[in-house]
């Protein structure tokens, strides 16, 4: 049964459907693995064993009766600690919300449960989701699967660790500036950032409502497709028969290549070569308007985040990690006029982006220009924390600023991901493209 812990969610679902895997035994296998893992308390903020076994028992009965609710009926997954779950603490990684226990599940958790998925529990995260590094001295900093001393990526740090360490078949996270894609890349997983507004945020603790999105972290593009359908209560994209012949991709040069360090650069170069060998055409692309657009992120993200959280933060600022507190407070530096003007300028940049990328199936760039930094140094060196956090989020934030859906795919080089930027509200097309890229990179 230990092999189940390394299988994709899709393969586990197929095993349940074929009668080869019992959902109760599968859930017990995961719960036992969580209990036995020496780093479990750095990964899970809460384990909901009783709920998981009850849901697994119902899934087993449906499987025996041939009445499964979805391809993932009976598959155990984890949830980031900002998704409300009835009767279980949901604190968004912050002591500001200590003891917060919601009365009902978030809409996406309700949807997934209605399709038979099993809730294993809640995973640690960056405080209030406001960091791309995943470092949280207030609660816990989850380990990086390639080196436990390095940053796991954030803010969906525990979601990534739960999957990478074999303690969940899939993790559900959120992405405001890269919080699904960075931990996916740094832990060699597949991560899907959905288009803002596509997946429900009801019952999700907010950071920036205009940028917050919900998405899965898993072992394959197929897992991402199945989980998107589960989160929405819909039908998954059919990924069969895809290949790269005739596909045309843009290799983004503007912003995304700045300060690109050696290992991510080499991994990106090798990944593009594999795609060309598989029949894809790759064209370098400059989008000059992107430079100004990225300069607006400091206004748009921090002003909204501080606007939403100012009263809660200033009532008890001593409860926060200093780096996160400083980042929130920077939002006070901007006026309402600054914020409105920034949005107007961003909309013009988005129009220029849409025109520039229209001829391509997708836009490619490294997920992160850096490798995971050292956690101890991040906690002790302010300048290092600030510079590494901004760099970690830089490339992924392109997708958020331009209002896109996006994938992070493993390149085969540890902690180096390939970002595939799609068009707004075109997740199914992105997943088809991602499946073809995934096969070429494998």
Contacts of 422 (CB under 8 A, 6+ apart): 362, 404, 405, 406, 407, 429, 430, 433
> Is residue 256 one of the residues assigned to a domain?
yes
H helices present in 169-209, as ranges: 181-186
In whole angstroms, what is the distance from residue 16 CA to residue 68 CA? Answer: 9
> Is residue 304 one of the residues assigned to a domain?
no
Q: What is the per-residue burial (b if ≥16 Cβ within 10 Å, else e) of 51-78? A: bbbebbebbbebbeeeebbbbbbbbbbb
Domain boundary pick from 183, 206, 232: 232
**Do 391 and 366 belong together in one domain?**
yes
Give the position of tokens 């895809």.
242
What value does the mean pLDDT take over residues 339-360? Answer: 98
pLDDT at 39: 97
Residue 141: CB atoms within 10 Å: 24
**Do 219 and 270 belong together in one domain?**
no
What value does the mean pLDDT take over residues 142-154? Answer: 98
pLDDT at 79: 99
**Do 262 and 138 belong together in one domain?**
no
**Do 292 and 199 belong together in one domain?**
no
- Could you give the C-alpha distances from 155 to 97, 158, 371, in angstroms and in order? 17, 8, 16
In whole angstroms, what is the distance from residue 232 CA to residue 89 CA? Answer: 24
- Domain with residue 157: its CATH number is 3.90.1300.10
In whole angstroms, what is the distance from residue 242 CA to residue 321 CA? Answer: 46
**Do 214 and 252 belong together in one domain?**
no
Instruction: Express as a percent the part of the chain with pLDDT over 90.
Output: 99
**Do 262 and 131 belong together in one domain?**
no
> Is residue 305 one of the residues assigned to a domain?
no
Name the strand (E) or helix (H) holding 84.
none
Identify the three-state secondary structure at position 115. Answer: coil
Burial of 352 (0-12, 13-18, 19+ CB in 10 A): middle
**Do 186 and 266 belong together in one domain?**
no
> Is residue 311 one of the residues assigned to a domain?
no
**Do 128 and 270 belong together in one domain?**
no
pLDDT at 232: 97
> Is residue 302 one of the residues assigned to a domain?
no
**Do 158 and 261 belong together in one domain?**
no
What value does the mean pLDDT take over residues 18-46? Answer: 98
What value does the mean pLDDT take over residues 129-142? Answer: 98
Q: How many domains does the chain have?
A: 2
**Do 393 and 270 belong together in one domain?**
yes
pLDDT at 400: 98
Domain boundary pick from 232, 265, 280: 232
Contact call for residues 326 and 302 (beta carbons, < 8 A)? no
> Is residue 238 one of the residues assigned to a domain?
no
Instruction: Express as a percent the part of the chain with pLDDT over 70.
Output: 100
**Do 212 and 352 belong together in one domain?**
no
Res. 1 pLDDT band, cuts 50 70 90:
confident
pLDDT single digits (tens) 203-245 = 999 999 999 999 999 999 999 999 999 999 999 999 998 999 9
- Give bridge partners of residue 123 from the DSSP assignment: 44, 80
> Is residue 316 one of the residues assigned to a domain?
no
Quick one: tokens of 301? 């993200």
pLDDT at 181: 99
If you average pLDDT over every residue of the chain, what do you get?
A: 98
Q: In which domain, by residue range, is 91 found? A: 2-232
pLDDT single digits (tens) 398-425 = 999 999 999 999 999 999 999 999 999 9
Contact call for residues 153 and 64 (beta carbons, < 8 A)? no
Contact call for residues 128 and 324 (beta carbons, < 8 A)? yes
**Do 178 and 261 belong together in one domain?**
no
**Whether the predicted pLDDT of 43 surpasses 90:** yes
pLDDT at 380: 97
> Is residue 278 one of the residues assigned to a domain?
yes
Catalytic residue numbers, as ranges: 80, 155, 179
pTM of the complete model: 0.98
Residue 81: CB atoms within 10 Å: 29
Res. 160 pLDDT band, cuts 50 70 90:
very high
């Amino acid at each position: 049964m230990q092999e189940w812990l390394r299988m994709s969610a899709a393969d586990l679902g197929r095993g349940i459907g074929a009668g080869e895997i019992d959902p109760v035994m599968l859930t017990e296998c995961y719960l036992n693995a969580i209990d036995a893992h020496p780093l479990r308390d750095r990964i899970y903020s809460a384990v909901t064993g009783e709920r998981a076994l009850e849901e697994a028992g119902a899934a087993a009965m449906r499987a025996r009766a041939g009445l499964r609710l979805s391809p993932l009926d009976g598959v155990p997954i984890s949830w980031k600690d900002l998704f409300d779950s009835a009767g279980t603490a949901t604190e968004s990684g912050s002591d500001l919300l200590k003891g917060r226990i919601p009365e009902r599940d978030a809409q996406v958790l309700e949807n997934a449960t209605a399709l038979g998925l099993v809730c294993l529990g809640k995973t640690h995260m960056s405080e209030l989701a406001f960091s791309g590094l995943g470092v949280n001295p207030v609660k816990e900093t989850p380990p990086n699967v390639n080196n436990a001393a390095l940053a796991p990526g954030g803010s969906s740090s525990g979601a990534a660790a739960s999957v990478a360490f074999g303690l969940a078949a899939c993790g559900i996270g959120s992405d405001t500036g890269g919080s699904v894609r960075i931990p996916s890349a740094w832990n060699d997983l597949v991560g899907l950032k959905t288009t803002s507004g596509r997946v429900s945020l009801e019952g999700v603790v907010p950071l920036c409502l205009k940028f917050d999105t919900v998405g899965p972290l898993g072992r394959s593009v197929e897992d991402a497709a199945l989980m998107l359908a589960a989160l929405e209560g819909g039908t998954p994209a059919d990924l069969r028969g895809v290949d790269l012949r005739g596909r045309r991709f843009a290799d983004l040069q503007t912003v995304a290549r700045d300060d690109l360090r050696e290992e991510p650069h080499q991994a990106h170069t090798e990944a593009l070569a594999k795609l060309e060998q598989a029949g894809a055409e790759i064209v370098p692309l400059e989008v000059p308007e992107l430079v100004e657009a990225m300069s607006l992120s400091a206004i748009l993200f921090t002003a909204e985040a501080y606007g939403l959280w100012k009263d809660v933060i200033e009532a008890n600022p001593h409860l926060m990690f200093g780096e996160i507190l400083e980042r929130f407070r920077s939002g006070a530096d901007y006026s309402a006029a600054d914020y409105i003007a920034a949005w107007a300028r961003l909309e013009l940049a988005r129009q220029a982006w849409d025109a520039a990328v229209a001829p391509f199936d997708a836009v490619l760039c490294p997920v992160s220009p850096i490798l995971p930094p050292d956690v101890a140094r991040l906690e002790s060196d302010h300048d290092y924390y600030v510079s590494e956090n901004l760099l970690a989020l830089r490339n992924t934030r392109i997708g958020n600023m331009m209002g896109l859906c996006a994938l992070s795919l493993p390149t085969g080089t540890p902690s180096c991901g390939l970002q595939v930027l799609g068009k707004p509200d075109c997740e199914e097309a992105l997943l088809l493209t991602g499946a073809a890229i995934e096969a070429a990179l494998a």
